[in-house]
Structure 1
Amino acid sequence: MATIYLTTSIRAPINACFDAARSVDAHLSSAIGTNEKVIAGRMTGLFEAGDIVTWEARHLGIRQRLTVEISRMIEPTFFEDKMLKGAFKSMRHEHHFAEENGLTIMTDLFQYETPFGILGALFDKLYLESYMRKFLQKRNLHLKQVLEGA
């Protein structure tokens, strides 16, 4: 199982960061390069625990669909989404929020498994892990810029 761990410091209140991270609209605006859209589930607003959403986007030149459930939520410090259906063998994304010295520290723990055994593992090491890290970093930078008014 691959794990991507990211920490982003944001000069904004924890509640605003928590809401931005679970905003459908913020997610869509951060993923413009992949033509991402919601094709089932909550189309706008803020995700709540138990919500199920299906995203469609173009990744790696292929149109893909990913269905996730917001499986756990503790406002305003934590939520988790888990893949129900998609290209990964499994996927879980934890979003953690903490206040420190006037900043909100947003921490992502993104874990996934690739299908196709050794070929999937090789693809992950050669390309996928880097691609996913950059995708998440871009999203976090977008949220930071929006929240800090940049």
Structure 2
Amino acid sequence: MSRFEVVTLVPAPPEVVFDVSLSVELHASSMRHSGERAVAGVTSGLLGLGDQVTWRARHFGLTWHMTSTISAYDRPASFVDEQVRGPFRRWHHAHAFEPADGGAATLMTDVIDFTAPAGPLGALADLLVLRRYMTKLILLRNAHIERAAGEDQSRSW
């Protein structure tokens, strides 16, 4: 099992960052390089507690499908998305949002716990490539969230 954490300071209040983080459209645009898009379940708007979405994307030259659900939701402090079906043996992504700079900014923390598929081969892939690749994806997504939340705080996500 791998675990990593990414902390990002976003120049927008927690309510805005929380909502932006649950936007299906924003997620898809942040992963545009992999062609990621929602193909089943909730395919537009904001995700909420119990919602499921199936994503299709291309990584490592292969097309993958992953269905995840919002398993915990405490607006605007935190939410969790977990894989229901997909390429990982386990995927658990906790998102936390803490006010910073008197509430004008948000300290956004992502804690990702995952287990690669394929037993020992998956563990080796994790060690050599997967953890670094997944960290890069979260950093790219967070940079996109930072730009979107800062651009237009009045926009309804």
**TM-score w.r.t. structure 2 length?**
0.93
SS in 2 for 1:65: strand
* 1:13 is aligned to 2:29: no
Match of 1:118 in 2: 120
Distance 1:146 1:37 in 2: 18
2:110 corresponds, among 86, 108, 111, to 108
- Which stretch shifts more, 12-21 or 96-105? 96-105
- Which stretch shifts more, 95-104 or 4-13? 95-104
Query: Structure 1 regions of 5+ residues with no counterpart?
Result: none
Distance 1:13 1:62 in 2: 37
Which stretches of structure 1, 4 residues or longer, exceed 3 Å deviation after superposition? none
Match of 2:155 in 1: none
Match of 1:141 in 2: 143
Aligned-CA RMSD value:
1.1
**TM-score w.r.t. structure 1 length?**
0.97
Aligned length: 150
Distance 1:13 1:132 in 2: 26
1:28-67 correspondence runs (5 A): 28-67=28-67
Query: Structure 2 regions of 5+ residues with no counterpart?
Result: 153-157
Distance 2:150 2:69 in 1: 29
User: 1:149: how far off?
Assistant: 2.1
User: Aligned partner of 1:15: which letter?
Assistant: E
Distance 1:13 1:116 in 2: 41
User: Aligned partner of 2:15: which letter?
Assistant: N
User: 1:39: how far off?
Assistant: 1.1
Cα deviation, 1:85-121, whole Å, max 9, x if unaligned, reads: 0010111000100002232000000110012221111
Distance 1:58 1:117 in 2: 22
Distance 1:47 1:75 in 2: 12
